[in-house]
């Protein structure tokens, strides 16, 4: 891959996304302080000791941002992997199998999608502890309904094509058809949806944390940091705006990369078709 061929917008998104991921991976080694360590006064301004100032308890905001990036991406990434694994496989199986299995899976997904996602998550998290495992399961399962709908719709179109019928006539089983015939030809829309689902997981997690049902103290993701410092906005203190801006930057950068990957994949397929 030649960097000169990457559009400027995609290159910016790629650099920002890689930078945020590296910061998250290296958080324990590059953060100046521990996530709960008090280093100064409440909402202290920028100084040599605290490059972004301090938060509502006097903790270093930069260290909290770095550790928060790690928690945010870890939960969002795990939830997205779970939602795509569960949703795409079930969607492909439903499309290929048809009959009562397709109806049962589709109606079950319709039932989950009929309940507002945020309300359902709040009900579940008000009963279960807000641990990392529970958050990943809740976000992943709720988000898998959207992935199921997309993957099933794509697989239904692919399922009637000649090469799939030829595989059936050869006696191939459902699993082989799903992973060898359906999945490779459904990657383009799934890749596009992957970027959206990652961002949805980040925003959803941030919303839950802002409401107090996400990541619990002393740990914090970016959404929890906005909630902790929101009172400072009235006094002109930007402690809540910094994590909010980080969420916005991550959202835009991942979408830029996802759009470029989708365009590039579509162009490659178009080129093969024309050849």
Q: How many CB atoms lie within 10 A of CB 237?
A: 19
The residue assigned the tokens 């596009």 is: 192
Answer yes or no: is 223 within a domain.
yes
Residue 274 clears pLDDT 50, i.e. is over it: no
Q: What is the CATH number of the domain that holds 260?
A: 1.10.3720.10
Give me the count of residues in the chain. Answer: 275
Q: How many CB atoms lie within 10 A of CB 87?
A: 26
Answer yes or no: is 275 within a domain.
no
Answer yes or no: is 4 within a domain.
no
Q: What is the mean pLDDT of residues 204-233?
A: 88
Answer yes or no: is 3 within a domain.
no
Q: Which residues on adjacent β-strands are paired with residue 38?
A: 59
3 state SS for 176-189: HHHHHHHHHHCHHH
Q: Are 259 and 252 in contact (CB under 8 A)?
A: no
- Cα(196)–Cα(199) distance, rounded to whole angstroms? 5
Answer yes or no: is 213 within a domain.
yes
Answer yes or no: is 1 within a domain.
no
Domain residue limits at 30: 9-40+49-234+244-270
Q: Which carries the bigger pLDDT value, residue 274 or residue 258?
A: 258
Answer yes or no: is 78 within a domain.
yes
pTM of the predicted structure, to 2 decimals = 0.86
- Cα(89)–Cα(178) distance, rounded to whole angstroms? 8
How confident is the model over 63-116, as pLDDT tens digits?
999 999 999 999 999 999 999 999 988 998 888 888 888 899 999 999 888 888
- Cα(20)–Cα(22) distance, rounded to whole angstroms? 5
Answer yes or no: is 239 within a domain.
no
Number of domains observed in the structure of the chain: 1
């Amino acid at each position: 891959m030649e960097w000169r061929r990457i559009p400027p917008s995609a290159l910016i998104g790629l650099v920002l996304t890689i930078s945020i991921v590296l910061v998250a991976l290296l958080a324990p080694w590059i953060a100046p302080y521990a996530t709960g360590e008090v280093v100064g006064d409440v909402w202290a301004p920028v100084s040599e000791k605290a490059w972004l100032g301090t938060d509502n308890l006097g903790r270093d905001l930069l260290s909290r941002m770095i550790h928060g990036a790690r928690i945010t991406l870890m939960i969002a990434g795990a939830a997205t992997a779970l939602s795509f694994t569960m949703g795409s496989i079930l969607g492909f199986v439903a499309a290929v199998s048809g009959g009562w299995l397709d109806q049962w899976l589709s109606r079950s997904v319709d039932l989950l999608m009929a309940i507002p996602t945020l309300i359902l998550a709040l009900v579940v998290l008000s009963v279960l502890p807000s641990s990392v495992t529970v958050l990943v399961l809740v976000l992943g399962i709720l988000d898998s309904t959207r992935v199921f709908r997309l993957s099933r719709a794509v697989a239904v179109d692919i399922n009637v094509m000649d090469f799939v019928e030829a595989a059936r006539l050869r006696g191939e089983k459902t699993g082989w058809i799903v992973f060898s015939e359906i999945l490779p030809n459904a990657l383009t829309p799934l890749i596009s949806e992957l970027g959206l689902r990652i961002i949805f997981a980040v925003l959803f997690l941030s919303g839950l944390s802002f409401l107090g049902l996400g990541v619990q103290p002393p740990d914090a993701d970016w959404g929890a940091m906005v909630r902790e410092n929101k009172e400072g906005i009235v006094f002109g203190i930007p402690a809540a705006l910094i994590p909010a801006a980080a969420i916005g930057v991550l959202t835009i950068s991942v979408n830029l990369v996802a759009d470029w990957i989708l365009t590039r994949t579509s162009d490659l397929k178009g080129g093969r078709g024309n050849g």
